[in-house]
Structure formats: C-alpha cells, structure tokens
C-alpha cells in the first residue's frame, strides 16, 4: 500500500503521531458528549499549528488521538495550548466536571506522544478504535 506524502514549499514528509491524554487522577468523566466537545476543540486549535486530526477515540478516563503534523510544527506548544484551553473550557461547559475536578486541571500533567514509526496507518487506526471498546 502506498501512502500519499504531504509537502510544503521546501519538503516532502509523512508525519503521523499518536497522542494519549489522561484525565487527572484517572477520573472516569469522559462521556461521548465531552469527547466530541474536546475533539472539536482539537481540530480548531490544530489549524493554527498545521495539525490535522486523523482518528479520535476515548475511554472514560483518557483519549487516543492520531494526527498528522508538519516538520515545522511545534508539538509541545500545541499540546500545552490544547490541554490548557480544553481543560478550562470543558470545566466551564460541563458542570459535572467541575464537581469532580474543582480546582484541578482536567488533564494529567503528563502525556504520551509517539511517532507511528512506519507502522501502517490502518493498523494504528484499528488500535485506537479498539481502545475505546474496553
């Protein structure tokens, strides 16, 4: 299977990343509605960083995201911007979250970011899809 390469003015690339974000204290508060809200925010903020969502799934206490970036994408800045904005806005929009995580950030301070390392994207997509089934 041949994958279409991305390009910009000066380079050709194929950069896929797998990001896992965990709710602070692994509280089981992510519902489909909260997941959809967080997903929309990821897409909106990602545009400013040349990040494009490929696959999204969640469990009650974490989310799995497969996304594409560019060589000049500042991943740590994007992830911190996303975590900060989504934490604030999710707690504002969903009162039940405020009760569970009153003064805390929504997300754990740490995160897991992996390159897909040449694994076929379809394999990674299946893995992410199956994570939400547990």
CATH number at residue 66: 3.30.70.1290
Q: Determine the pLDDT at residue 10.
A: 81
Query: Is residue 103 one of the residues assigned to a domain?
Result: yes
Structure tokens at 73: 């994408």
Per residue of the chain (134 residues), give pLDDT as tens: 456 778 888 888 889 999 999 998 888 999 999 999 999 999 999 999 999 999 999 999 999 999 999 999 999 999 999 999 999 899 889 888 876 665 677 899 999 999 887 667 777 777 777 765 54
Instruction: Determine the Cα–Cα distance for residues 99 and 101; give it in Å rounded to an integer.
Output: 6
Query: Is residue 93 one of the residues assigned to a domain?
Result: yes
Q: Determine the pLDDT at residue 103.
A: 65
pTM of the model: 0.83
Query: Is residue 5 one of the residues assigned to a domain?
Result: no
Q: What is the DSSP string of 13-74?
A: E-EEEEEEEEBGGG-----HHHHHHHHHHHHHHHHTTT-EEEEEEE-SSEEEEEEEE-TT--
Query: Is residue 63 one of the residues assigned to a domain?
Result: yes
**The dihedral formed by the CA atoms of 36, 39, 41 and 44, expressed in degrees to the nearest 10:** -120
Q: Determine the pLDDT at residue 119.
A: 67
**Residue numbers of the domain that contains 45:** 12-131
SS3 12: strand
Q: Determine the pLDDT at residue 1.
A: 45
How many domains does one find in the chain? 1
Query: Is residue 47 one of the residues assigned to a domain?
Result: yes
Query: Is residue 64 one of the residues assigned to a domain?
Result: yes
Structure tokens at 103: 């003064």
Query: Is residue 7 one of the residues assigned to a domain?
Result: no
Query: Is residue 37 one of the residues assigned to a domain?
Result: yes
**Torsions phi, psi for 11 (to 5 deg):** -155, 165
């Amino acid at each position: 299977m041949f994958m279409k390469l991305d390009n910009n003015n000066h380079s050709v690339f194929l950069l896929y990343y797998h990001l896992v974000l965990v709710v602070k204290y692994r509280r089981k508060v992510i519902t489909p509605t909260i997941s959809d809200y967080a997903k929309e925010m990821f897409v909106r903020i990602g545009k400013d960083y040349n990040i494009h969502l490929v696959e999204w799934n969640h469990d009650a206490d974490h989310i799995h995201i497969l996304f594409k970036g560019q060589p000049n994408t500042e991943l740590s800045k994007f992830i911190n911007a996303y975590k900060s904005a989504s934490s604030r806005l999710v707690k504002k929009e969903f009162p039940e979250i405020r009760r569970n995580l009153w003064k805390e950030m929504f997300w754990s301070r740490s995160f897991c970011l992996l390159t897909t390392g040449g694994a076929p994207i379809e394999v990674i997509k299946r893995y992410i899809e199956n994570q939400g089934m547990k």
